[in-house]
A and B are shown apart, each in its own frame.
Chain A
């Protein structure tokens, strides 16, 4: 199978994630879309590792996962706090700061 196809999949996933961030309102879902984008990048890393025959890309993927996990911790903390304050997880409700 052509390695390029994996790249297309990765690009597709990235796009889905990016569009998801823009169109979804629930903060958790938005955040999951970001995770999807990160994983799309991971897929690209792994694919390139395969293409280039080096292991660096795979290492990068592991790092990404760890970092993503950290991000989840911080992100959920923020989202939960704001949910508790506002009783809403919609990102559109948090729009006091503008102009």
Chain B
């Protein structure tokens, strides 16, 4: 058996162990070790991605060992195109976050090394949650991930950090417990139909009444909708993003929240195809509400971090809509969107974080005229903003357009309403751009320093990835497409053939 995935998960843990053995005083060494480990993990992931057979729709790098045999629980991991892409995103973001947030840990309650131990543990769990092919294993990672994030927000954040951390944790736990009820339901059903198992493939073959299926589906879906977050389960996100350090926010919005949308694909759709069809209209509606609502709230924010959080709510609306549109464009687009959103949010949060740490305030109106004072930083922020509003030529455009086109072929009304989101996106990006970067340089901003070399090195790969994938998304799409098409065809859907309006 190929144990690459396990080794990949062991790498960050190894880094964390080395860190734990370090003395508390040597903060710089801790940072270097953390950076080294995350880079190693990223390289390892890239090499796995190169070895991935793109046209093979079966899971690859499969591993399976009995874990709790009496419950039919296995330690089972494997990759398809979707999970590979998400793991790639996670491991690429991790070193960037470490490098970008080099000094983030210094205002924390605990030492620097603890910060990086938490980050590395989180990275390991994120890999695990995307790679798991056993529902129980997935759940374990899903819940256990909360703990490092909780301490990252509560211990190293700013402002009302502990309240935000608690809110985040309670929301997530609540969703997780609902999912636990559903998992128990699946477990019992599988026991009645040929032996207890948690294997995703086997569970998708279960027979169940439509009521049962609907209830179990809801258990999963609400958990994922909280995590994603979908309106109206979103109110934890702005608070969490407001309080967390920028790096943590990147991991929170960029990686952790993707577990929600990933879970929808991997579990809601595959395990409960019938219930999915039942609930699709509602979910599409919620997604569209999220898109528009998130955009409007973003426009109304005065705090830059909250603004970014609300833009993400809007973006997650797009992702969810793409998933449930049940077309190959929507589905591939949604997965690509997850990847792209990771980087565009990373860019926004990291640059915003640098701005905030220099200015000592996160209120948008405290900035002003930064373009003349700190041109590189201003450019970076502007670029991140353009990526967030899905400017053609940048990666998010491809995914957003695919989602819209994919949705339009099946749910034209939803797609049309969602498209209004792109105008609102222009507003919620350009308003802060104008207030923070343009206009006369406001008092207090005259002496801000521009990005340092370290910060430039950190943001450069993000910029390159966003640009590159904007013009040439094929490498990712070729990995995603087979998996996405597979999911849809399993559900019994195929892309709608071109149909004329109003007949001919």
A and B touch in the complex (CB under 8 A): no
